[in-house]
Amino acid sequence: MQQEHKKSHRWKQRLLLGYLPKVILGLGVLAVYFSWHDYHRKPSQKELDIALTRYMRGKYAIYGDTLTPKGEGSVTYLASDIFYSTSNTYELAFTSEKYPKKEEKEEIVLDYDYEKNTLRDNYMSFVLRNQAEEKFREIFDRIYEPGTYELAIVIPIVPYNGHEQNATELITEYLKIMPWNRVNVCVIREPEKRENDMQCLLDVLKEYGYDMNGRIYYVTQQQFDSEKRKEEWIGPREFPRQLSVNVCWNRGDDSYYIYSWEESGKT
């Protein structure tokens, strides 16, 4: 285990040495455009979008992806405020050729807080999604029989503001930091087994220590095979199922919240 840790550390060092100049270049560009207090004028929207795009491409050049802005960036507003006051955040969304989204609302987003001068993005959530799904399959393989369920990680629509994602972040680091990993599971199973399943899941989650905001669908074989289920279940959307269970657990908690309801929508 110690030898494996040393190897991963050396791997990260090599990556950083190889791509650090590109990241520094991106940060240098941002320094020019974002030093508003020392600058005679604020950058135009076009200049800001160009700077943010260069930053993202430089930071994640290691992955050989093509990141393209989805139109122009915009200032985000607080929907909770009746007058929609600004959140002091400028948001620019991107498309990726290498890491497609699984659900319509998912976006690669870079948030720039021009008051705090901070940058947050969720690109690594796309890069590490397959690895995150494998880690959670290790958990659910201990609850359900392998081959009887599907699992998908759903990426949050906004970056987590408590952690700036690192281009060389390992999956073990990522899952220990990220809160409320959104996991959708669709399993061919009798609803009557739900209570025991959830207790087993809690025990395994405590062992792994991964936060989870999970939505678990209990379906019949016919419901599992239906085209509507295959198209809609990640959303989540409405499709025929026997039972839905929403499981929310924070690392360190003794128990977790469980909400369940049947296909009819009754709790």
* Sequential pLDDT tens for the chain (267 residues): 444 444 454 545 554 444 544 454 445 545 544 554 444 566 788 999 999 999 999 999 999 999 999 999 988 876 665 555 566 789 999 999 999 888 888 999 999 988 888 899 999 999 999 999 999 999 999 999 999 999 999 988 788 877 788 899 999 889 888 878 899 999 999 999 999 999 999 999 999 988 899 999 999 999 999 999 998 888 767 889 999 999 998 888 888 888 777 664 443
The end-to-end CA distance of the chain, in Å, is 46
Residue 93's closest CA among 61, 70, 117? 70
Closest C-alpha among 62, 201, 177 to residue 125: 177
Assigned fold of 127-262:
Diaminopimelate Epimerase; Chain A, domain 1 (3.10.310)
CA atoms within 13 A on the CB side of 191: 13
Output the pLDDT for position 79: 63
Structure confidence at residue 29 (pLDDT): 46
Say what the alpha-carbon torsion angle 93, 161, 152, 109 is, to the nearest 10 degrees: 0
- Cα 118 to Cα 121: distance, rounded to the nearest angstrom: 10
How buried is residue 119: exposed, middle or buried, by Cβ count under 10 Å (0-12/13-18/19+)? buried
pLDDT at 75: 84
pLDDT at 132: 96
Q: Which residues contact 253 (CB under 8 A, 6 or more apart)?
A: none
Q: What is the pLDDT of residue 84?
A: 55
Q: How many CB atoms lie within 10 A of CB 178?
A: 22
Per-residue pLDDT at 264: 47
pLDDT at residue number 115: 80
Delimiting residues of CATH 3.10.310 domain(s) in the chain: 127-262
pLDDT for position 2: 44
The pLDDT of residue 4: 46
Q: Provide the edge-to-edge strand list for the sheet that holds 182-188.
A: 149-154, 182-188, 212-219, 243-249, 257-262
